Amino acid sequence: MYSLALTMAAATLGFALCASPALADAAPAAAAPHCINAIQIDHTQIIDDQTILFHLRGGVTLRNTLQDKCVGLRMASSGFTYVVRGEEVCGNLQSIRVNDNGAICELGPFTLEPPKP
């Protein structure tokens, strides 16, 4: 396993993730994955101090509701950073760091975001 630090240069930059093959067999087809492959992240979008949208390659969007409010996340001019281990980002297991103030916040569960008309 290796670690790769992925830095968000701005709130609109990010990464898209794809369902983990290990979870694909256990989860229903419509369920959001617990872990997503970091190379599938197209970009992220910070909605507020507790919500980040992960826009994946191929048009799927996953919402991550952080475990608690992350002070300064919404206003962060330098975005946030997280470390990818084993090529995946996993809800409820990993943290992010707000680049502007150093706040550490825990990712919550991923849920599927309905497609926009």
Strand, helix or coil for residue 88: strand
What is the per-residue pLDDT for 16? 33
Query: Using 50, 70 and 90 to split pLDDT, how confident is the model at 71?
Result: very high
Query: What torsion do the CA atoms of 26, 116, 54, 62 make, to the nearest 10 degrees?
Result: -20
Amino acid at 87: E
Q: Is the pLDDT of residue 42 over 60?
A: yes
Kind plus residue range of the DSSP H or E element containing 107? none
**What is the maximum alpha-carbon separation in the chain?**
40
Helix (H) or strand (E) holding 15: none
pLDDT of residue 115: 83
In one letter, which amino acid is 71? Answer: V
Is the pTM value of this prediction over 0.85?
no
